[in-house]
Amino acid sequence: MIKLELNRKTRQITAKEPPDVSSLQNGFFGEMKKGIIYLSPVEALYIMDIRNGRCYDEAGNLYTFNDIAALFLKAEKLLARYLTYKDWRDKGLMICAAAKAEGNYGKTVLIKYESSDFRMDAYSFDGLFFADDLLTVVDDVPTGKDLYQKYWMGQFGTYKAAHRGNISKLDIFETIFLLRHGGLQLRNKKLADIQKTARGRIKFFDDIYSVYEDWRKRGYVMKTGFKFGTHFRLYFPGASPVRTNTDWMHSKHVIHVFPRKHKQLISEWARAIRVAHSVRKTFILAIPGKKTKIKVDSENPRLDFLLYHRKKGGVETPKDGTPRYFMYSLTEDEYIGGEELAKALAECEHFGLEMVVGISDRESSVTYYVIKAIELPGSEYEYYEIEWVQP
């Protein structure tokens, strides 16, 4: 048994007995001051739950797990933080308070994507916009076929059977892109008209379109990600819908747009990532809008924990290693906003650590996602690869 002591006035929880102090110090719990271990509420709860800890106040009254938790209920995400802390510890890995972060650890990984100038031949053609479907039909056969084969713009003929049919269908993003950059004119609508229609039908349409154009202008092909629960699937420059031998070109990346002003249920966010992972596609999160400088408070990080990982022959510890990640602790039924996530990622960049999102579900099982920054040359937006991981 480990004996913990609660100071009811200050709400500080400590361990003072020499054997307990030694045990906790060896396990990298708390902070040592003059022979006494001072514990955070989460650490104290873990010791009571897992390490057979017993907590008493000055009068000798015994406190249960819920008694201690009730004292700190005003702390943000207390249970989410406890459950993710416990899970990481239970895997035999070290974890400590984010407030212990100092300096820049130099462990940020920047994934560099290629970029090229997108140039189209000069076209002048018309189409008919179908407002109910947010689609444009082009019945100019040579132009429709040329746009499809050269630039993978629109769908000529039938999906995966371009020889069946003579019309080309453009989605709303392709329609606007070609109105602005490709010589398209509509018989029945102006650009402003279809933009207004799209904004009324698709929430945050301007943000989603801006991401589409950002990648398209750098030579990438963007097609619907509907089958994978995302906004787009992404093909690298040079991709073509023309089948080679008997093989179709398959996308290896999907993009989901997360506007700064939007809040999304964590379970929906995680579901899209898991779907992408299940079909072996890399999930890219897009946060549109020019990146602004975010002030980081080094003394009071908004993230929750510093995570140590495995190394050859064992695990990293605060004694002989440095943290690998910053963890953001969440539960499946809460919401996260694009701006909130951007601020957390800026904090990771400041300390030179990658971010792990730890999500505790309704059964208290925790799922982890690693987030790595993408460099897309010429872009002012923020893009991140997100991967499901098992520590």
Q: Is 88 helix (H, G, I), strand (E, B) or coil?
A: helix
Residue 213 φ/ψ, nearest 5 degrees: -65, -35
**281 belongs to the catalytic site:** yes
Radius of gyration of the chain measured on its C-alpha atoms? 27
134: alpha, beta or left? (left if phi > 0; alpha if psi -120 to 50)? left
Tokens standing for residue 68 = 């201690």
Q: Distance from first CA to last CA of the chain, Å, rounded?
A: 29
Amino acid code (one letter) for 90: D
Strands 62-63 and 95-97: unpaired
Q: Using CA atoms, how far apart are residues 35 and 388, in angstroms rounded to an integer?
A: 41
Selecting among 220, 281, 350, 369, the annotated active-site residue is 281
Q: Using CA atoms, how far apart are residues 47 and 236, in angstroms rounded to an integer?
A: 50
Tokens standing for residue 345 = 């990622």
Q: Are 232 and 283 in contact (CB under 8 A)?
A: no
Selecting among 100, 190, 250, 263, the annotated active-site residue is 250
**252 belongs to the catalytic site:** no
Would you say the C-alpha torsion 210, 211, 216, 217 has a positive or negative sign? positive
Q: Using CA atoms, how far apart are residues 176 and 311, in angstroms rounded to an integer?
A: 50
Q: Using CA atoms, how far apart are residues 41 and 236, in angstroms rounded to an integer?
A: 48
219: alpha, beta or left? (left if phi > 0; alpha if psi -120 to 50)? left
**To 10 degrees, the CA torsion angle through 46, 47, 50, 56?**
-110
Tokens standing for residue 322 = 């440095």
CA 100 to chain centre: 24
Q: Using CA atoms, how far apart are residues 175 and 127, in angstroms rounded to an integer?
A: 9
**105 belongs to the catalytic site:** no
Q: Using CA atoms, how far apart are residues 127 and 130, in angstroms rounded to an integer?
A: 10
Residues 6+ apart with CB under 8 A from 133: none
What positions carry a catalytic annotation? 235, 250, 281
